[in-house]
């Protein structure tokens, strides 16, 4: 294969390029010593992390059979006799998957490890075989330079209450019978509602159903609200929390030798259950999704206690997601969810009673005031933070360098950390973000988006929450993420932030892309989302990378389909540059080369092929122009020319990828200063980086420094430059820097830039801004659509 011609100074050639910018094997990722929003490495450089959640399939066991939530099996309730060995994927496929995400620059992994996977056999009985398997997976990750943090993943408490996470025996601790959940409406479990349409709309309703709401209330606030509920002589809250903390502390001990692990998350998307509810006769529709058969808190208490109850029934609507459309009778067979000789925990505590055959609230303020003191309850201060401190202490007792990631209740603000908590250097804020309207409807059109968070909070009307066109969508998403960042800074302090989950549903617009191979809207959607994060300088892990994904059942969990990889993708791109869906290649198959190199596959991004003479003249003019003044910086321009390539060795990694135009993008991974701008313009194939340093008149020039010490890593910025976008036949790539020297290693997809410590910049102050621009001259951006025409077509349901 031909090598690119790299034009750079003689000194630039001695920059070390032994590592990849997106390789973390020899990098220590740590929180800053002083309060700051960026991670650091052992050389004091700022670290920017990008990666994926791995993976959605890890919510489900692999044995006795591989279970998907749309399948009902006789073994379903044998919750102790399961195994998660083989999650997130078979060990023999690990090299392929890690190599793929590494080639995409997504080398930071949020690794899903559910409580059930570790402790399904019973309290204190850990699945050491699965932990051994996990260690083997993590060693593979380290081999590929991948860093991970452990995500104790849960959704609506457990897969037995319609989600994932906790072992089945936790319900037994609370005295609940998981086999009765369907009949009494204690949970909507997809496995037992396989014919239900729109399962992705049903599972979030479990937060308001008896099983999930009771378990979260007991887990976080059982000592306060259920002091009489005990198990083995201790309060249920104490028992469950100790079991949870001990379980992940045990895992932390077992993973001590795994270099890939940088820390542990507290819990995915925690919830308050009933804690803080001011009205037990209703749920707040802004906080709890109403859909299908929907019981109020006190109605669910009655249903769980063997009463037949008439409840409201909700259907889809807009601008609110649902509206009431009648009522339904539930639990006509009058089955109880409480185990033999048991009684509803909340009835035991006098919260409600059976009055003339109907459930009646006796203590309406029970969950919003402290039963013992009568003072208003604060979920975060009274329940969440004590648990977080307990968990953090246990994890850092094993390894004081471990980062501990925490997040708020979904779509709500985080807790306000005390000064003592803020002083803890290793706490990382890890919120989530999704376009909730698109998730709900599984439809996206760039012409019209809504700020759903503002609508839910009541800070905007429907009209003021509307954004038009692609630029409007980016403004919308950027604003939402800015609010998350700014609110987090106020409430949790100036600390690193990782967007722990963010992504797009791939089955939008009636799955048309699976038939046509046209992923244009997906690329626009994901590019807008990631671009908005880049504006706010978020670290992030995309949801998700799932090798078990397919076009029929998506991620095989409650109708979700988010994976940026699906082995069903075609190996041959369509003229629009996106894969068509045909038979699945196996993971070790070498895919044939496409008709043209990757960069040529992006519709509207590269100019039409030039004649050899015109191309040569353009290259000569670019190379000769090595000093280009670009306001506000004086930029030194360099270029390299990519000679015709025989093929792309990374192409086999792209097979199965979805929306890769947007997912794969350049970024600075290790930065020798404080970043102020790091953004990729997909339409123009241009990446811009700016970072700031403090000028010191005593600093040596780069020439003096290199003559005495050579290149210094603390002055070197490492940038991931993906071949997917920047390596194609006949394509010239321009690299421009404000100062210093650089070297590009195309094989490693890495650009190293050593800034000049003596550079004064253009201003007179002590803070200096350094600038890098990587671009492809001659790129023709896609033609902009008419917002008005597009909006009309969108409203008419046409594309």
Q: What span, in angstroms and rounded, lies between the C-alpha atoms of 637 and 624?
A: 10
Given 119, 183, 269, 446, which residue is catalytic? 269
729 in catalytic set: no
Residue 109 backbone dihedrals phi, psi, to 5 degrees: -115, 130
- Residue 498: C-alpha distances to residues 49, 96, 109, 114, 797 (Å): 8, 26, 11, 20, 36
269 secondary structure, DSSP code: S
288 secondary structure, DSSP code: S
User: Token pair of 221, please?
Assistant: 């606030």
- Are 466 and 460 in contact by the 8 Å Cβ rule? The answer is no
Kind of pairing between the strands at 108-112 and 50-54:
parallel
Least Cα distance to 291 among 224, 381, 207 occurs for 207
How many C-beta neighbours within 10 Å does residue 191 have?
18
Q: 769 pairs with which residues across the strands?
A: 692
Residues 6+ apart with CB under 8 A from 20: 102, 145, 718, 720, 748, 749, 750
Q: What span, in angstroms and rounded, lies between the C-alpha atoms of 7 and 639?
A: 6
User: Token pair of 749, please?
Assistant: 């997809």
Helix or strand or coil: residue 165?
A: coil
Q: What span, in angstroms and rounded, lies between the C-alpha atoms of 441 and 25?
A: 41
Least Cα distance to 35 among 495, 424, 487, 490 occurs for 495
Q: What span, in angstroms and rounded, lies between the C-alpha atoms of 449 and 457?
A: 17
User: Token pair of 415, please?
Assistant: 């807790």
> DSSP strand E in 653-764: where?
667-671, 674-681, 686-694, 716-720, 732-737, 741-745, 750-754
- Are 717 and 691 in contact by the 8 Å Cβ rule? The answer is yes
403-412 b/e (C-beta count within 10 Å ≥ 16 → b): bbbbbbbbbb
Residues 6+ apart with CB under 8 A from 510: 443
Q: What span, in angstroms and rounded, lies between the C-alpha atoms of 382 and 371?
A: 13
Q: Assign residue 712 a region (left: φ > 0; alpha: ψ between -120 and 50; beta: otherwise).
A: beta
Least Cα distance to 719 among 98, 103, 48, 262 occurs for 48
Length, in residues, of the chain: 799
User: Token pair of 224, please?
Assistant: 């306060």
- Are 240 and 218 in contact by the 8 Å Cβ rule? The answer is yes
Q: What angle do CA 461, 466, 468 make, to 5 degrees?
A: 165
First to last CA, the chain: 42
Helix or strand or coil: residue 509?
A: helix
Helix or strand or coil: residue 305?
A: strand
User: Token pair of 496, please?
Assistant: 């690193």
Given 446, 501, 560, 718, which residue is catalytic? 501
269 in catalytic set: yes
- Residue 40: C-alpha distances to residues 33, 43, 249 (Å): 9, 8, 25
Q: What span, in angstroms and rounded, lies between the C-alpha atoms of 63 and 117?
A: 11
Q: What span, in angstroms and rounded, lies between the C-alpha atoms of 597 and 593?
A: 8
Least Cα distance to 348 among 272, 236, 207, 240 occurs for 236
Residue 598 backbone dihedrals phi, psi, to 5 degrees: -55, -45
* H or E segment to which residue 721 belongs: none
Q: What span, in angstroms and rounded, lies between the C-alpha atoms of 386 and 237?
A: 12
User: Token pair of 593, please?
Assistant: 């080369």
Residues catalogued as catalytic: 269, 501
């Amino acid at each position: 294969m031909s090598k690119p011609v790299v034009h750079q100074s003689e000194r630039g050639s001695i920059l070390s390029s032994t590592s990849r910018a997106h390789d973390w094997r020899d990098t220590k990722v740590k929180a800053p010593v002083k309060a700051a929003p960026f991670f650091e490495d052992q050389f004091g450089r700022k670290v920017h992390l990008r990666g994926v959640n791995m993976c959605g399939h890890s919510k489900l066991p692999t044995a006795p059979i591989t279970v998907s939530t749309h399948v009902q099996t006789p073994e379903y309730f044998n919750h102790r006799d399961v195994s998660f060995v083989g999650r997130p994927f078979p060990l023999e496929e690990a090299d392929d998957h890690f190599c793929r995400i590494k080639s995409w620059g997504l080398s930071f992994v949020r690794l899903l490890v559910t409580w059930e996977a570790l402790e399904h056999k019973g309290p204190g009985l850990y699945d050491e075989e699965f932990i051994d398997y996990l260690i083997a997976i993590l060693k593979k990750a380290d081999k590929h330079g991948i860093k991970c943090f452990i995500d104790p993943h849960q959704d609506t408490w457990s897969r037995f209450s319609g989600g994932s996470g906790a072992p089945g025996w936790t319900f037994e601790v609370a005295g609940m019978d998981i086999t009765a959940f369907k009949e009494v409406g204690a949970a909507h479990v997809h496995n037992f509602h396989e014919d239900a349409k729109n399962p992705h709309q049903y599972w979030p309703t479990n937060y308001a159903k008896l099983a999930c709401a009771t378990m979260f209330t007991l887990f976080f606030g059982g000592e306060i609200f259920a002091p009489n509920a005990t198990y083995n002589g201790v309060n249920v809250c104490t028992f469950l929390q100790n079991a949870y903390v001990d379980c992940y502390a045990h895992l932390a001990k077992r993973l001590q030798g795994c270099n890939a692990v940088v820390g542990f998350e507290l819990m995915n998307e925690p919830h308050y259950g009933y804690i803080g509810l001011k009205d037990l006769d209703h749920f707040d529709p802004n906080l709890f999704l109403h859909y299908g058969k929907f019981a109020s808190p006190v109605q669910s208490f009655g249903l769980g206690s063997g009463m037949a109850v008439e409840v409201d029934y909700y259907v889809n609507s807009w601008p609110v997601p649902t509206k009431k459309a009648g009522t339904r009778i539930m639990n006509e067979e009058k089955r109880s969810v409480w185990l033999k000789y048991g009684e509803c925990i909340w009835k035991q505590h006098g919260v409600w009673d059976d009055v003339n055959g109907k459930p009646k609230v006796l203590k309406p303020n029970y969950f919003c005031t402290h039963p013992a003191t009568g003072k208003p309850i604060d979920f975060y201060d009274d329940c969440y933070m004590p648990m977080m401190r307990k968990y953090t202490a246990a994890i850092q007792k094993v390894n004081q360098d471990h980062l501990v990631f925490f997040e708020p209740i979904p779509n709500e603000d985080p807790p306000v950390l005390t000064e003592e908590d803020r002083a803890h250097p290793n706490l990382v804020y890890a919120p989530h973000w999704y376009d909730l309207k698109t998730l709900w409807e599984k439809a996206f059109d760039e012409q019209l988006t809504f700020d759903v968070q503002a609508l839910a909070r009541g800070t905007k009307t429907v009209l003021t929450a509307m954004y038009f066109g692609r630029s409007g969508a980016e403004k919308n998403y950027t604003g939402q993420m800015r609010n998350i960042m700014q609110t987090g800074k106020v409430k949790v302090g100036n600390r690193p932030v990782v967007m722990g989950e963010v992504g797009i549903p791939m089955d939008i617009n009636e799955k048309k892309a699976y038939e046509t191979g046209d992923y244009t809207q997906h690329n626009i959607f994901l590019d807008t989302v990631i671009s908005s994060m880049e504006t706010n300088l978020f670290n992030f892990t995309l949801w998700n990378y799932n090798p078990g994904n397919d076009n029929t059942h998506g991620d095989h969990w409650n109708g979700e389909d988010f994976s940026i990889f699906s082995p069903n993708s075609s190996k041959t791109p369509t003229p629009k540059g996106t894969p068509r869906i045909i038979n699945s290649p196996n993971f070790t198959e070498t895919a044939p080369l496409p008709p043209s190199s990757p960069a040529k596959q992006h519709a509207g991004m590269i100019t039409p092929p030039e004649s050899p003479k015109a191309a040569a003249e353009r290259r000569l003019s670019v190379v000769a122009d090595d000093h280009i003044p670009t306001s506000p910086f004086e930029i030194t321009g360099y270029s390299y020319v990519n000679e015709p390539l025989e093929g792309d060795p990374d192409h086999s990694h792209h097979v199965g990828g979805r929306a890769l135009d947007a997912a794969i993008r350049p970024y600075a991974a290790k930065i020798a200063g404080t970043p102020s701008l790091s953004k990729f313009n997909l339409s123009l194939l241009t990446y811009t980086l700016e970072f700031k340093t403090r000028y010191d008149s005593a600093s040596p020039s780069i020439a003096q420094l290199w003559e005495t010490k050579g290149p210094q890593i603390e002055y070197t910025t490492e940038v991931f430059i993906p071949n997917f976008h920047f390596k194609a036949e006949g394509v010239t790539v321009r690299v421009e820097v404000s100062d210093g020297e650089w070297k590009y290693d195309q094989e490693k997809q890495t650009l190293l830039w050593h800034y000049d410590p003596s550079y004064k910049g253009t201003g007179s102050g002590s803070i200096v801004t350094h600038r890098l621009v990587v671009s492809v001259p001659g790129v023709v951006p896609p033609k902009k659509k008419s917002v008005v025409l597009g909006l009309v077509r969108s409203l008419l349901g046409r594309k």
